[in-house]
């Protein structure tokens, strides 16, 4: 059995499409990438998205407050 490592990291503006996709899968809808970009760039935003990756593919997320 091959074990793959899961990498967790803070989301960046480069992750907008993956965040929108995962948010839509989880919530049944998603903010537009432009709205997500504003929230990611806002230093006063209380939510910090983290991503989980395997082999460079984003597979999940968590939003910390």
Structural domains of the chain ordered from first start: 7-64 (3.40.630.30)
**pLDDT for position 33:** 82
Quick one: tokens of 45?
């935003």
pTM: 0.78
Could you read off the pLDDT of 5-26 as tens digits, one per residue?
Answer: 999 999 999 999 999 999 889 8
**pLDDT for position 55:** 94
């Amino acid at each position: 059995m091959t074990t793959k490592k899961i990498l967790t990291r803070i989301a960046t503006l480069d992750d907008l499409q993956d965040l929108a996709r995962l948010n839509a899968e989880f919530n049944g809808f998603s903010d537009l990438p432009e709205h997500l970009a504003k929230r990611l760039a806002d230093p006063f935003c209380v939510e910090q998205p983290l991503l989980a990756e395997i082999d460079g593919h984003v597979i999940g997320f968590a939003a910390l407050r």
